[in-house]
């Protein structure tokens, strides 16, 4: 590769006159891979064209009416600048990350029509100097004191700039292993320090420090790691403010199937430290998930098999995920002996508005251009404490285009989630989204140059990854109260607390149906509240209508796994998939749901949400099929990561 190639501040490949860029497989030069200039948070640079201004756009303030009162309250409480209206915010964000005025106008129109919504860090900080437009990070800890302290320091920087962090600890030797001058104290005390740092770092008025830690299933400290969020025991070995996830291997799942022993191995030497009964460990994991909602599960071999070919050829590997288990990007030392802290830039399409935008030519390309520009701005303005994140963002330029409103779309169409028609729409939607995102990546690579990871392997791709399905709890509220992510609705009516007070939220599609039947009355809604948001008791509804408006806990969870598995081939990263289960779930059903998720190719599972999160321990073997003992009430903390919403 000629050393005369370079990348400008917007991430565009620049070649000298009369030189044709070669997609060679040799290592790019240092100059070619140089990071954008380090800058403090300052007005966003526009080296190639003047930044569009909100005054250049035609705003339609009547589109405020597309938002619910709850959505407007949410924006006012959290995201609007002083004196800013809803349409002004959409214009500000559109202009901050647009190619030109025409692109900004299209982005504004799409955003103000609620066709898509950027993640909240983009809404909050786009076009301002108060923070970064990306706050989703993943990093790894190396097996040395220097590496551990370095990870702590980096996490302080990431959290102080609004970051939600996923950190991998699987490289660090377990307790009692030999080191120079003695033996190790293991990972648990070091994770405890990270817990304290996370709690201490403020993320401003919008969010506090938030982090998750991940560990391999074969790590010798996996059993104690499972317990770090439980308050009982030695406080100095607990991390109550962190979330945790486990990298589950195919080898382990095969050991569970066989009922055999499973080796826990040293991360340093790969030698077996001890063996454990695989089924007993699996049962403990499932028990913890039902009791506390966690750990998240990352099926790590499935993830790495699906890594883009050019990244596999470079020897890159995924070892962790993020706070919401949908981001799967390489971290740690790469093939150039550089440290990567993965970064992902997120936005979500509103599937409830599918009929309005799915035939709109260039719509998804416009959003991919928007995300590419967000990445470039981050690379340009991120502080020195984020140099590893800046490097990773420049090398792979991964983004996460997601969705929301899937269940709302089905309800608007009168389609139960548990139906073949829902499967058909699911497949068609994600096939189209992936096809258009892939096309946009190629088009942008031809226009601006491939990302360096792809360039090094001769691949014409602007983005290494394009699709990730994040939770969207906040932005779905903004988008007219549509259903979050690909999730089923939790209830047909609920009360949500905001900074401005409590507000009652009703399912608009159910309200429309009840109104048509002359039954949209306070008495009916009170009865729905009394039945925990369910309509199963309403005689005025047909059985099909009741099926359409089943809540998350009423839907057969096999359909959640089935729909997730169907869309999985079109998602290059992962999905935030929750399971909704009663506390007395049959333990065979609990096992089979998780087992099927792995078998069908899901890359991760997020929370296991239970109406009561504490129950007696498992008794007997996986195949016994009896009911779990009665639960004892306990509080659940299903914290959502605002970095992904």
Question: Between helices 250-258 and 278-292, what is the axis angle to 10°?
Answer: 110
Catalytically annotated residue among 324, 345, 485, 572: 324
Catalytically annotated residue among 322, 350, 492, 507: 322
CA dihedral sign, ordered 282, 284, 285, 290: positive
3-state DSSP of 213-265: EEEECCCCCHHHHHCCCCCCCCHHHCCCCCEEEEEECHHHHHHHHHCCEEEEE
Q: Please, are residues 614 and 634 in contact by the beta-carbon 8 Å criterion?
A: yes
> What is the Cα–Cα distance from 23 to 296, expressed in whole angstroms?
39
| Region of residue 557 (phi > 0: left; psi between -120 and 50: alpha; otherwise: beta) | alpha
Residue 322 a catalytic site member = yes
Strand 493-498 to strand 501-506: parallel, antiparallel, or no bridges (unpaired)? antiparallel
> What is the Cα–Cα distance from 495 to 532, expressed in whole angstroms?
11
> What is the Cα–Cα distance from 323 to 203, expressed in whole angstroms?
15
Name which of 544, 499, 505 is nearest 528 in CA terms.
505
Q: Three-class SS of residue 506?
A: strand
Q: How far is CA 67 from CA 61, 116, 274, 477, in A?
A: 11, 13, 57, 9
37 DSSP 8-state letter? P
3-state DSSP of 598-615: HHCCCCEECCEEECCCCC
Residue 428 a catalytic site member = no
Catalytically annotated residue among 287, 294, 326, 352: 326
To the nearest 10°, report the CA torsion of 297, 301, 303, 307.
160
CA dihedral sign, ordered 511, 516, 521, 524: negative
Tell me how far apart the 2 most distant CA atoms of the chain are, in Å.
79
- Two structure tokens written together for 210: 């938030």
Residue 275 a catalytic site member = no
> What is the Cα–Cα distance from 463 to 397, expressed in whole angstroms?
5
Whether a cis peptide bond, with omega within 30° of 0, leads into 274 is no
Question: Which sequence positions are flagged as catalytic?
Answer: 322, 324, 326
């Amino acid at each position: 590769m000629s050393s005369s190639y370079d990348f400008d501040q917007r991430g565009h490949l620049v070649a000298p006159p009369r030189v044709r860029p070669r997609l060679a497989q040799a290592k790019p030069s240092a100059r070619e891979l140089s990071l954008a200039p380090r800058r403090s948070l300052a007005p966003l640079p526009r080296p190639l064209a003047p930044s569009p201004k909100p005054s250049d756009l035609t705003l339609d303030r009547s589109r405020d009416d597309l938002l619910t009162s709850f959505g407007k309250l949410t924006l006012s409480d959290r995201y609007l600048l002083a004196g800013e209206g809803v349409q002004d915010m959409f214009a500000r964000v559109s202009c901050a990350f647009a190619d030109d005025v025409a692109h900004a106008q299209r982005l504004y129109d799409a955003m103000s029509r609620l066709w898509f919504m950027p993640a909240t860090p983009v809404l909050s900080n786009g076009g301002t100097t108060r923070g970064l437009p990306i706050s989703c990070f993943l990093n790894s800890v190396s097996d040395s004191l220097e590496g551990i302290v370095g990870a702590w320091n980096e996490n302080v920087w990431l959290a102080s700039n609004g970051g939600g962090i996923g950190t991998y600890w699987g490289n660090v030797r377990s307790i009692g292993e030999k080191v120079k001058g003695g033996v190790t104290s293991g990972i648990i005390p070091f994770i405890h320090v990270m817990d304290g740092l996370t709690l201490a770092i403020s993320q401003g008025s919008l969010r506090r420090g938030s982090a998750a830690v991940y560990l391999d299933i074969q790590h010798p400290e996996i059993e104690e790691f499972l317990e770090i969020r439980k308050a009982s025991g030695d406080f100095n070995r607990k991390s109550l403010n962190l979330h945790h996830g486990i990298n589950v291997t195919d080898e382990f799942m095969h050991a569970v199937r066989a009922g055999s022993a499973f080796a826990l191995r040293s991360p340093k030497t790969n030698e077996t430290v001890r063996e454990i009964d695989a089924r007993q460990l699996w049962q403990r994991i499932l028990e913890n998930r039902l009791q506390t909602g966690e750990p998240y599960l990352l099926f790590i071999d499935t993830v790495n098999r699906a890594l883009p070919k050019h990244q596999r050829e470079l020897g890159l590997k995924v070892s962790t995920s993020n706070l919401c288990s949908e981001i799967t990007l390489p971290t740690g030392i790469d093939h150039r002996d550089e440290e990567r802290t993965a970064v992902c830039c997120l936005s979500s399409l509103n599937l409830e508005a599918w009929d309005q935008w799915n035939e709109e030519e260039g719509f998804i390309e416009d959003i991919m251009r928007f995300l590419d520009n967000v990445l470039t701005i981050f690379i340009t303005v991120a502080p020195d404490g984020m140099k590893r994140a800046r490097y990773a963002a420049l090398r792979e330029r991964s983004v996460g285009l997601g969705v929301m409103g899937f269940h709302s779309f089905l309800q608007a169409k009168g389609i139960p989630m548990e139906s073949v028609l829902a499967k058909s729409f699911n497949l068609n939607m994600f096939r189209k989204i992936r096809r258009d995102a892939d096309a946009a990546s190629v088009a942008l690579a031809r226009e601006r140059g491939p990302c360096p990871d792809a360039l090094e392997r001769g691949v014409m791709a602007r983005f290494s990854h394009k699709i990730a399905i994040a939770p969207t709890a906040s932005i779905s509220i903004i988008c007219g109260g549509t259903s979050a992510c690909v999730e089923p609705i939790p209830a047909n009516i609920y009360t949500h607390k905001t900074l401005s007070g409590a507000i009652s939220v009703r399912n608009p599609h159910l309200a429309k149906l009840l109104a048509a039947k002359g039954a949209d009355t306070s008495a009916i809604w009170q009865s729905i509240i009394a039945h925990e948001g369910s309509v199963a008791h309403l005689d005025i509804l047909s059985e099909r209508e009741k099926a359409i408006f089943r809540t998350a806990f009423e839907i057969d969870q096999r359909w959640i796994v089935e729909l997730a598995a169907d869309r999985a081939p079109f998602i290059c990263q992962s999905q935030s998939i929750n399971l909704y289960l009663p506390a007395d779930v049959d333990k065979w059903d609990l096992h089979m749901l998780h087992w099927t998720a792995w078998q069908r190719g899901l890359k991760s599972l997020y929370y296991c949400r239970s109406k009561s999160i504490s129950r007696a321990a498992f008794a007997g073997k996986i195949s016994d099929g009896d009911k779990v003992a009665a639960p004892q009430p306990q509080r659940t903390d299903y914290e959502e990561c605002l970095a992904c919403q």
